[in-house]
Amino acid sequence: MITTLDGRRIESETDSTTTLHGAIDEARRDCPPENLIVTVRLNGRELVDAELEAMLDRALHTEDQVDLVSTNRRELAALALRDAAEAIERSGSDAERIADGLQGGVTEGGASEVVALFKAWTAANETVSQCCQLLDEDLTERRHNERSVREYLAELADRLRELRDALEAGDMVLLGDIVRYELPELSRQWGELLRALAEEIAPLETNRATPAEPPAI
């Protein structure tokens, strides 16, 4: 069996009981501590999500080849933060149009757009949390414009709670006000915050990460 990491063949101690999971674990010992394995290919086929999960316990054969690609953790975290910033900024640009649509009451389409806004903001919150875990660093202690990230997160939690409560209560006036008057500015602030965090973690000119999401292995 052949195992490569970032295009380099690595020595592996395998036998007939070695699984794909075992080969990945063994390769991690050759992976720089600042890197994370983000791509797994078996015999030229990239495995992702459910397919990867299903193949992890598969026993490998002598003719198999496992190719692994790693990415710097800081670059990966910065990429995730920049992607989240773009999603948040898009939600802010849609706010006025969505608020106009809510004037006639919550329609199925209008409700789904508000839910999409809610999910985009929730995803931004989760991205910060995931980056803290990825880097083993409390990013909430960092500061931007004289405020800590923790303060930004607390404000975001309040706005999301208001948005959810207004939607559940069918309060069109409050829902429209939140979407029209609060979300655009919040979007601007969070776009700046996430991009600033990304730049601190891995400046754009050195960011070479390309994978969208690391597989859960």
Q: Which domains does the chain have, with CATH numbers?
A: 2-72 (3.10.20), 74-204 (1.20.120)
pLDDT recorded at residue 173: 82
89 versus 114: the higher-pLDDT residue is: 89
The pLDDT of 75-88, averaged and rounded, is 95
Q: Give the pLDDT score at 9.
A: 94
Query: Please, what's the b/e burial string for 82-108 (b: 16 or more CB within 10 A of its CB; e: otherwise)?
Result: bbbbebbbebbebbeebbebbeeebee
| CA 48 to each of CA 53, 140, 194, 205: distance values in angstroms, whole numbers, following the listed order | 8, 31, 27, 28
User: According to the model, what pLDDT value does residue 51 have?
Assistant: 96
Of all residues in the chain, what percent carry a pLDDT higher than 70?
Answer: 89
Q: Report the pLDDT value the prediction gives residue 99, as an integer from 0 to 100.
A: 84
Query: Would you state the structure tokens that stand for residue 173, as one six-digit string?
Result: 């006036």
- Residue among 47, 33, 40, 34 nearest 5 (CA): 40
Cα–Cα dist 139/150, whole Å: 8
CB of 217 within 8 A of CB of 24?
yes
Tell me the sheet residues that pair with 42.
45, 66
Q: What is the pLDDT of residues 96-121, one digit of tens each?
A: 888 887 776 656 666 788 888 888 88
User: What are 26-58's pLDDT values in tens digits?
Assistant: 999 999 999 999 999 999 999 999 999 999 999
Q: For the whole prediction, is pTM greater than 0.85?
A: no
Taking residues 1-20, report their average pLDDT: 86
pLDDT tens-place string over residues 176-217: 888 889 889 999 999 999 999 999 998 876 444 444 444 444
Average pLDDT over residues 119-139: 93
The H-or-E segment that residue 89 falls in is: helix 73-102
